[in-house]
């Protein structure tokens, strides 16, 4: 027999993990986005309120993605409803101050990257805890509100997070606020079955958030949501963290390198020499690989 409480959790109850990019270098440059940080926050606050109003069992967790660190800043399950905005804004301020204090360098080349891999991992840890809490839990999804450019140094960590999300069947939605597309987030949404969107008019951000990203997983089956126009599948090499079009791949562990190496730095497999067509060399190559 189904317990009565089970009926309260229909398939459209959502756990929304929102990752907010707080990179100060991104928000302080008017060239990178047409939206100010305070405007951005007011759009997001209205959106979070509307998600919580849609269903009394909906839950929202906000994670700040900083330049040096990331942290949970808001959890609707543990904060009183009447102080929602105050709690979130106060925690946000504390986070931004802490993130700034951790800065070791005074000047950063360009606008830098924020720690997307870190906040994705934190979101997945939270979701994992929810999954283990029992059979009665809301449907989780992750929404990345991201503006900073991709950090090629985070490539492996981000891809690992994406594959974990895919395994957990948690979609990663992406809303890109910067001028450039994000290859990381294109891949994240494509692989996990989430929605990727780069809004044309950031003044209407709330509109995009509520009509596209406010939809729960159950309703998505009946809606026409934005389809990806193209996905940048390029990878970063493990040796220099450069984004490459073509490269060498270790046949054992699938690590990617931009040039030929004697040995795989990840799994230690010995590669033989660079390609030549002479048969004697290929024998020798096989020998090297065997030992």
Query: Residue numbers of the site for Zn ion (CB under 5 A)?
Result: 237, 239-240, 250, 252-253, 255, 258, 264, 266-267, 269
Nearer to Zn ion, 144 or 258 (CB): 258
Nearer to Zn ion, 136 or 267 (CB): 267
Give me the least distance between CB of 91 and Zn ion, in Å please. Answer: 39
d(CA 33, CA 28): 9
Query: Based on CB atoms, which residue is closest to Zn ion, 44 or 250?
Result: 250
Question: Which of 219/269 has CB closer to Zn ion?
Answer: 269
Cα atoms in the Cβ-side hemisphere of radius 13 Å centred on 38: 0
Q: How far is the CB of 183 from Zn ion (least distance, A)?
A: 17
Rank residues 64 and 258 by Cβ distance to Zn ion and give the closer one.
258
> What is the smallest separation between the CB atom of 246 and Zn ion, expressed in angstroms?
12
Q: Least distance to Zn ion from the beta carbon of 263, Å?
A: 9
DSSP one-letter string for 95-134: HHHHHHHT---SS-STT----HHHHHHHHHHHHHHHHHT-
Instruction: Report d(CA 151, CA 290) in Å as an integer.
Output: 37
Enter the tokens of residue 286: 């096989």
Q: Least Å distance between CB 286 and Zn ion?
A: 17
């Amino acid at each position: 027999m189904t317990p009565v409480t089970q009926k309260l959790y229909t398939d459209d109850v959502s756990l929304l993990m929102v990752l907010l990019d707080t990179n100060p270098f991104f928000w302080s440059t008017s060239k990178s986005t047409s939206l100010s940080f305070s405007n951005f926050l007011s759009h997001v606050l209205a959106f979070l309120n509307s998600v919580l109003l849609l269903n009394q069992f909906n839950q929202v967790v906000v994670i700040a993605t900083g330049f040096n660190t990331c942290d949970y800043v808001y959890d609707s399950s543990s904060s009183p409803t009447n102080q929602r905005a105050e709690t979130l804004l106060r925690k946000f301020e504390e986070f931004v101050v802490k993130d700034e204090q951790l800065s070791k360098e005074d000047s950063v080349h360009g606008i830098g990257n924020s720690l997307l891999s870190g906040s994705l991992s934190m979101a997945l840890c939270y979701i994992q805890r929810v999954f283990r809490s029992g059979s009665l839990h809301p449907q989780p999804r992750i929404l990345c509100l991201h503006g900073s450019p991709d950090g090629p140094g985070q490539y492996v960590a981000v891809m690992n997070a994406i594959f974990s999300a895919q395994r957990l069947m948690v979609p990663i939605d992406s809303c890109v606020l910067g001028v450039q597309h994000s290859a990381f987030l294109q891949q994240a949404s494509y692989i996990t079955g989430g929605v990727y969107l780069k809004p044309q008019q950031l003044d209407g951000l709330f509109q995009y958030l509520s009509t596209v990203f406010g939809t729960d997983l159950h309703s998505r089956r009946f809606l026409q949501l934005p389809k990806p126009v193209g996905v940048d599948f390029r990878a970063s090499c493990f040796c220099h963290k450069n984004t490459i079009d073509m490269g060498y791949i270790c046949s054992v562990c699938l690590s990617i390198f931009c040039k030929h190496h004697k040995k795989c730095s990840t799994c230690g497999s010995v590669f033989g020499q660079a390609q030549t067509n002479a048969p004697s060399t290929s024998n020798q190559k096989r020998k090297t690989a065997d030992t």
